[in-house]
Amino acid sequence: MHIPFSDDVILDSRRAVFLPRQETLVIADLFLGLGAARRKRPDLLPDSQHSDIWERLLGLLDEFQPKRVALLGDIKPNQGTVEDDEAEEMRTLFRKLKGRDREVVQVVGHPERSVGPVMEKIGVQPVEQFRVGSHTLMHRRRIFVYPRHDSANGFWINGGLHPLFAVPVPGPDGKEEWVRYPAFLYTGFALVIPPFVSYAQGWEVMQPERLPRQARAWRVLGGHEMVPLSLPDLPPVPPGLESISRPGPRGKRKE
């Protein structure tokens, strides 16, 4: 599902942004290269998640036929070494991304910390910001500290914060339940996009009363649908749902 955000920005329910004038596909936190290593660890992910990543990625490339793919965030933490068949997974990824002479750009918060053997072999040099037409790509964990964008017709596109909204829905027994949804969030000066992989979910639920009045959001439903959120009409988030515990070492969650 597509939502035309503006003449040159399209939101895609597969958790991506396409900039048609610049023929650029933007994805945040792809993390496909983690697949092989994670499959052997205690926090085992179902194979369906990896198949879904490939299906959405190849579908986006086939449909939009971009001339450039911009990856926001690390492909692998510290861009470090790879384990066993993870190396082949990374090579396959970049063969697909660079097909048809596509340019691949990586934007990270701290380029000096993101240089490592993995990306050196791929030949992609991380940068802190990247200008695409009138917009600027970035990967930062804060959304309210940007300087004013230097183009009146453009804005920041950020992949560093993972917008998450809690929405009340009717439960099976008719009682109200709260469900957390990943979302696209526009703050008036930045478009913040959800992570491409579902296991890189956000940890802090957005509270509409703390957002700028001009803020707009669209929740993502299963990768196939987007629904606009009426932020002024969302009720306050119940205590205990404002945040999600981050996992501790080796997949253990903090108490």
The span from the first CA to the last CA of the chain, in angstroms, equals 38
- How do residues 180-209 score in pLDDT, each as one tens digit? 889 999 988 899 999 988 766 666 788 888
pLDDT at 255: 38
Cross-strand partners of 5: none
Q: Report the distance separating Cα 192 and Cα 203, nearest Å.
A: 15
Residue 11 has pLDDT above 90, yes or no: yes
pLDDT at 218: 95
Top mean pLDDT of 18-22, 46-50, 184-188, 224-228 is at: 18-22
Task: Count the Cβ atoms, other than its own, within 10 Å of residue 207.
Answer: 14
Q: Give the chain's domain count.
A: 1
Buried b (16+ CB within 10 A) or exposed e, 208-237: beebeeebbbbbbeebeebbebebeebeeb
Q: What range defines the domain where residue 13 resides? A: 2-251
pLDDT at 150: 78
Q: Please give the structure tokens belonging to residue 172.
A: 């099976």
Cross-strand partners of 220: 226
Residue 250 has pLDDT above 50, yes or no: no
- 98-105 mean pLDDT: 90
Question: CA 92 from chain center: how many Å?
Answer: 21
Name every residue whose Cβ is closer than 8 Å to that of residue 14 and which is 6 or more positions away in sequence: 56, 59, 60, 223
Given pLDDT bands bounded at 50, 70 and 90, which one contains residue 252?
A: very low
Residues in the chain: 255
- How do residues 31-40 score in pLDDT, each as one tens digit? 765 544 555 5
Identity of residue 145: V
Helix 86-97 to helix 47-64 angle, to the nearest 10 degrees?
Answer: 20
- 163-169 mean pLDDT: 88
Q: How far is CA 35 from CA 15, 118, 140, 208, in A?
A: 18, 14, 24, 34
Given pLDDT bands bounded at 50, 70 and 90, which one contains residue 251?
A: very low
pLDDT at 50: 63
Name every residue whose Cβ is closer than 8 Å to that of residue 22 and which is 6 or more positions away in sequence: 8, 68, 132, 133
Question: CA 52 from chain center: how many Å?
Answer: 15
Q: Please provide the average confidence, as pLDDT, over all residues in the chain.
A: 80
What's the pTM value of the predicted model, to 2 decimals? 0.84
Give me the DSSP letters along 23-90: TEEEEE---GGGHHHHTTSSSPPPHHHHHHHHHHHHHHHHHH--SEEEEES-SSGGG----TTHHHHH
